[in-house]
Structure 1
Amino acid sequence: MQLSPSELIINDDGSIYHLNLRPEDIATHIITVGDPDRVAEVSKHFDRVDIKKGKREFLTHTGVLNGKRISVISTGIGTDNIDIVLNELDALVNIDFETRTVRSNRIRLKIVRVGTSGAIQPDIPIDSFLMSRFAIGFDGLLHFYENDFSTHQEFEDAFIGQTKWSDTKARPYVVEFDTDLGAHFIENHIRLGVTATNTGFYGPQGRSLRISSSDANFTSNLARFTYENKCITNLEMETSGIYALSKLLGHQAVSLNCILANRATGEFSKNPTKSVEELIKFVLQKLSST
C-alpha cells in the first residue's frame, strides 16, 4: 500500500518532515536525549562527526566511535515528541521514500535514551544511574495505536487498585525494556528500576506553583505502590513512549537515567553536569561495542 503525502510527509530535499533527516543520515545505533544542547555533549566523544542537522527541537549528529556508526538525536520533552521521533526514525529505515511503501526487509534500530530523572524512593542516591527495566506510562500514547500489550495487565490492575487511579485519566500501561539490549548495560553500579512516565513536569508530577495539583499525595502514592517485590523508583516524561513504540515497530530500546533529584529526601545533585557526563561516557562505551 502506498502511503499518501498527508501520512508520510517528505520535505522538498527528500528529508522526513519534522526531523529534517534523509535515510542515509542516521545510524542503526541511536542515542536519544531530551535537551538539544546535550547532543554535542555526546558527539564530542565521537572519533568523528559526519552529519549535523536540525529542525525545531530535533537536532541530530551522526558520526563514528570505535568503528561503530552512531547517531544522537534530541527529542525535546514528553511522549508527544517521542511519538514524532520514533515514528520518523522508523520511517527513515523501513519505508522507501521513492515508492512510499513499507520495505519487506525491516531494519531493527538499537535505541538508548540517556536522560535525567527524579527518584521517589529515599534509598536511591543522587548522581546514581538507573536503567528502566519497566516503564509505567500515564501518558496514554499507547492507547492511540493498535496493540496487544496484555502481558503486564495484572501489574497495571494492581497499580490502579492500590493508588485508586482516577478513571478520568488515561489507563496506565506497563512495558518492559528490551532484555537483549539491556544486558549490555547491566553492571553493579546500574540499578534496575520501574520508571513512571507522565505528561508534564508540574501538576502531572504532583508539583504546585500557582495551580493546585488534583492529587496532593501523588508522589507518595506512587512511592508506596508495590507489586511482586517491585516498586516505582523514579519519575520522568519519555520512557514509556520509547518502550511502547519501539516494541510496536520492532526496535530494541533501553532507557538509562541519571538521578539528579530525590523527591523523597528533597535533595538535588551538586554537580549535575559531571554526573550526566559520566553516564554519557558509560553508554557510549557500551553501545559502541554492541
Structure 2
Amino acid sequence: MARDSEDPNADVQYHLEVGPDDVAGTVLLPGNPERLEKIVAHWDDHEIRAHHREYRTATGSVEGTPISVTSTGIGSPSAAIAVEELARVGVGTFVRVGSCGALQAEMDVGDLVISTGAVRQEGTSDEYVREDYPATADYEVVSALVAAAERLGYDYHVGLTMSADSFYAGQGRPGFDGFEAAGSSDLVDQLKEANVKNIEMEASAIFTLASLYGLRAGAVCSVYANRETGAFRTEGESRAAETASLATHLLAQMDQKKRAAGADRWHAGLSLEE
C-alpha cells in the first residue's frame, strides 16, 4: 500500500496539475507542447487549464463536443504519466496526435497514418504487463479517425506502428560519431517486410495502458520522413490535428447512437449518416 507522501491520487494531479473539472472525456495527446496551439486552432473555442513541465492542457469544444488536449513531451515514460493522471480525473478516450517516419515507399510526406496497433519496442509498457501482451488501438477510435480523414479528404494509411524508446539508435539511425547499435542496420528493413507502416515513440504505451484500464485509445500521425525514400519535410501536422479533432466529435455521435440503440459497442449497423 502506498504511503500518503507517495500517493499521486489527489484531486489535482501531481505532474499535469489538472483536476476532474479541467478536462473533457476525450483528450488529444501531442508530444510537443508547441503543437497545442495548432490543435486548438481547429476548435470552436478553448481555454488553457494547466501548464507544468512538458504537460500543457487546454479544454474547449468542436462542433459542440467537449474536447481537451494535453502535451506529453517525447517518449513513452512521460506519455504514460499523462494517461495515468488523466485517467484518474475521469478521461475515458485518448488520441495520440503526432509525427512519424514512414516505412513503406508509397507513403508520402504529409500523409496520415492511423494506427491499429503497435510493436512494443519501448520499455515503459513492459513495466505494466508481460511482453507478449498486444498494444492495440480501440476499433471505435480507429473508425472515427478513418471517417474523419475521409470527410476531410486527407490521404491516409491504416496499419501497425512501431514505438521506439530513442530517436537515434532505437530507430535505426546512427548515434554520435557514427555509432551503430546492434541490429540497427537491419531494423527498418525488418519492419518494412513485416508491413509495419511507421515509427514513432508513444503509441504502444498509450494503447497498452488504455487496454489494461478498459479505456479507449488511438493514434493519428503525420508523416514527416519516409525512411525508404529518404524524403523529409515537416508538413501535415495540421492535418493530424484536424482529423483527431473531428474524430472526437464523431466519437461523441457514435456514443450517442450506441446509447439510443442500447448497444454496448459501435458496429456497422449504427450508421452516422442520416
Given that residues 136 and 211 in structure 2 are in contact (C-alpha distance below 8 angstroms), is that contact kept between their aligned partners in structure 1? no
Structure 2 partner of 1:160: none
Given that residues 9 and 88 in structure 2 are in contact (C-alpha distance below 8 angstroms), is that contact kept between their aligned partners in structure 1? no
Q: 1:260-290: CA deviations, max 9, x gaps?
A: 1001110012xx34x1112212221221232
Given that residues 136 and 173 in structure 1 are in contact (C-alpha distance below 8 angstroms), is that contact kept between their aligned partners in structure 2? no
For residues 17 and 109 of structure 1, the distance between their equivalents in structure 2, rounded to whole angstroms, comes to 19
TM-score by length of 1: 0.78
One-letter amino acid matched to 1:247: S
Structure 1 residue matching 2:217: 3-state secondary structure = strand
Residue 44 (structure 1) aligned to one of 41, 44, 48: 41
Given that residues 28 and 70 in structure 1 are in contact (C-alpha distance below 8 angstroms), is that contact kept between their aligned partners in structure 2? yes
- 1:172 Cα deviation (Å)? 6.5
Structure 2 partner of 1:75: 72
Given that residues 163 and 199 in structure 2 are in contact (C-alpha distance below 8 angstroms), is that contact kept between their aligned partners in structure 1? yes
Alignment of 1:56-135 (within 5 A): 56-93=53-90, 109-135=92-118
One-letter amino acid matched to 1:80: P
Describe the shift of the 1:27–1:19 C-alpha distance in structure 2 as closer, same or farther (beyond 3 A).
same
Alignment of 1:271-290 (within 5 A): 272-273=234-235, 275-290=236-251
For residues 129 and 181 of structure 2, the distance between their equivalents in structure 1, rounded to whole angstroms, comes to 32
**Percent identity between the two aligned chains:** 28
- 1:181 Cα deviation (Å)? 2.0
- 1:3 Cα deviation (Å)? 5.7
- 1:239 Cα deviation (Å)? 0.5
One-letter amino acid matched to 2:186: N
- 1:80 Cα deviation (Å)? 0.7
Gaps of 5+ in 1: 94-107, 148-170, 226-230
Residue 55 (structure 1) aligned to one of 52, 63, 69: 52
Structure 1 partner of 2:208: 244
More helix by share: 2
- 1:21 Cα deviation (Å)? 0.8
For residues 20 and 34 of structure 1, the distance between their equivalents in structure 2, rounded to whole angstroms, comes to 17
- 1:10 Cα deviation (Å)? 6.0
Spell out structure 1 runs of 4+ moving beyond 3 A: 171-174
For residues 198 and 48 of structure 2, the distance between their equivalents in structure 1, rounded to whole angstroms, comes to 34
One-letter amino acid matched to 1:90: A
Structure 2 partner of 1:176: 136
One-letter amino acid matched to 2:66: R
Describe the shift of the 1:173–1:266 C-alpha distance in structure 2 as closer, same or farther (beyond 3 A).
farther
Given that residues 222 and 239 in structure 2 are in contact (C-alpha distance below 8 angstroms), is that contact kept between their aligned partners in structure 1? no
RMSD: 2.0
Structure 2 residue matching 1:264: 3-state secondary structure = coil
One-letter amino acid matched to 1:288: H
TM-score by length of 2: 0.82
For residues 174 and 71 of structure 1, the distance between their equivalents in structure 2, rounded to whole angstroms, comes to 27
One-letter amino acid matched to 1:237: M
For residues 107 and 43 of structure 2, the distance between their equivalents in structure 1, rounded to whole angstroms, comes to 31
Structure 2 partner of 1:207: 173
Gaps of 5+ in 2: 252-274
Structure 2 residue matching 1:240: 3-state secondary structure = helix
One-letter amino acid matched to 2:99: T
Structure 1 partner of 2:7: 8
- 1:146 Cα deviation (Å)? 4.5
For residues 222 and 126 of structure 1, the distance between their equivalents in structure 2, rounded to whole angstroms, comes to 19
One-letter amino acid matched to 2:208: A
